[in-house]
Amino acid sequence: MEVILKNLTKKFPSRDKKKHEDVIAVNDFDFVIPDGKLIGLLGPSGCGKSTTLNLISGLQKPTSGQIFFGDDDVTNLPPENRGIGLVFQNYALYPHLTVRQNITFPLENLKGKDKLTKEQMNEKALEVAKMVQIDELMDRKPGELSGGQQQRVAIARALVKMPRVLLLDEPLSNLDARLRLQTREEIRRIQKETKITTIFVTHDQEEAMSISDMIVVMKEGVVHQIGKPQEVYDKPINLFVAKFLGTPPISVFEGKVRENKLYIGDDAVLDIAGVPNKDVYVGIRPEGFDLKEDGPLCCALRGVEVMGRDSSVIASHSACLNEVIRAIIDTDTAVDAEGDQVRFALAPHKVHLFDKETEARIDFESR
Ligand code: ADP
Ligand code: MG
């Protein structure tokens, strides 16, 4: 089911006594979520992710704009008539009901021709329970399950009516690191199996990047960029998106373009073309630093961390806005960890320039 947001806006009255302006939690969202895909809504806390999801589910009413599921205008439909499945961070299971009863709960209220017998309900519950691999736990109560198992029950409950759209709001945030990884792979698998259009909200860029077909990067109620995770990573539209995506983070330097050379401090670090002389921010991805004895970018060496396949070279530079620079190199490359300096050449496609005023990315050609 395609989900179409048309000029969708949600304003809240200010809760700040000194500032009376409305909070625009969702500002003119206008995009299409393609049928059968998993979309990650990504941004820092307070950027309007939950509000967006609540508008799509019908738990909140938009200030203006429309929502369509396919050709169906659902803007004014109550949540129970939209055909959605919802999963929240805190599972929200009924503690006094068994797993089976929790899963069949959404089926109990079906009326008329949709009404199901007890056997039919249990059959459907078992089907989705198998899908999320909790079919052995049907007679337990939520209190007798681990966090990961409880979240699987919540997912099964959201799936049991075969919703048109599945909405997940930070569903992994309460799980420990290992379970989080495992459960996100499960969600991906289930989504691929069922092909239900799924909107997955998270503030964790790595989580969003790893499972989404498409990510929507937002900040303060505004959509900054929409695209495939790798595309957004490789071509961030502005400095905010560049800094928000990637671990370790991109290193940002004060720089300038003079006569087709890019400077960081007094060092000409790259030959480029297509950019007039101006001051810029230079963002360099951790994999964009190549250790080289005669490399043009000279940094102070702070240390080397070896982690399995890769090493991190930790360095600093007076023109760098990050506290430390983290460069990822493969462990075969020897680093003189005793030295106090380290020199890098830069991989041009891992270097991004940003306008100092607008912070928009500036395209350049490397030579
Ligand atoms: P996120 O889920 O990305 O953390 P939210 O959608 O919860 O963000 O919130 C977006 C903004 O809207 C925040 O500034 C938040 O304080 C504000 N907000 C959310 N819900 C309400 C509400 N019911 N009343 C007033 N302000 C709200
Ligand atoms: Mg939220």
Please, which residues bridge with residue 26 across strands?
Answer: 10
94: Cβ below 6 Å to ligand 1?
no
Tens-digit pLDDT profile for the chain (367 aa)?
Answer: 999 999 999 999 988 778 778 999 999 999 999 999 999 999 999 999 999 999 999 999 999 999 999 999 999 999 999 999 999 988 789 999 999 999 999 999 888 888 999 999 999 999 999 988 999 999 999 999 998 899 999 999 999 999 999 999 999 988 888 889 988 999 999 999 999 999 999 999 999 999 999 999 999 999 999 999 999 999 999 999 999 999 999 999 999 999 999 999 999 999 999 999 999 999 999 999 999 989 999 999 999 998 888 889 999 999 999 999 999 987 777 777 677 999 999 999 999 999 999 999 999 998 7
DSSP-assigned letters across all residues of 197-229: EEEEEES-HHHHHHH-SEEEEEETTEEEEEE-H
Q: Identify the pLDDT of residue 337.
A: 66
Q: How far is the CA of 16 from the centre of ligand 1 (A)?
A: 13
DSSP-assigned letters across all residues of 289-334: EEE-TT-SEEEEEEEEEEETTEEEEEEE-TTBSSSSEEEEEETTS-
Q: How far is the CA of 230 from the centre of ligand 2 (A)?
A: 24
Q: Identify the pLDDT of residue 326.
A: 96
Nearest protein CA to atom 14 of ligand 1, as residue? 46
Mutate to test the pocket of ligand 1, among 11, 12, 168 (most ligand atoms within 8 A of CB): 12
- Taking the domain 3-243, which CATH number applies? 3.40.50.300
pTM: 0.93
Nearest protein CA to atom 20 of ligand 1, as residue? 51
Q: Identify the pLDDT of residue 111.
A: 85
Q: Give the tokens for residue 1.
A: 């089911």
Write down the domain spans for the chain: 3-243, 250-366
Ligand 1: nearest atom to the Cα of 26: 10
Q: Identify the pLDDT of residue 84.
A: 96
46: Cβ below 6 Å to ligand 1?
yes
* Torsion on CA atoms 138, 142, 146, 150, rounded to nearest 10: 80
21: Cβ below 6 Å to ligand 1?
no
Q: How far is the CA of 51 from the centre of ligand 1 (A)?
A: 6
Strand-by-strand arrangement of the 310-316 sheet: 289-291, 341-346, 297-307, 310-316, 325-330
Q: 3-state DSSP call for residue 160?
A: coil
Q: Give the tokens for residue 114.
A: 């949709």
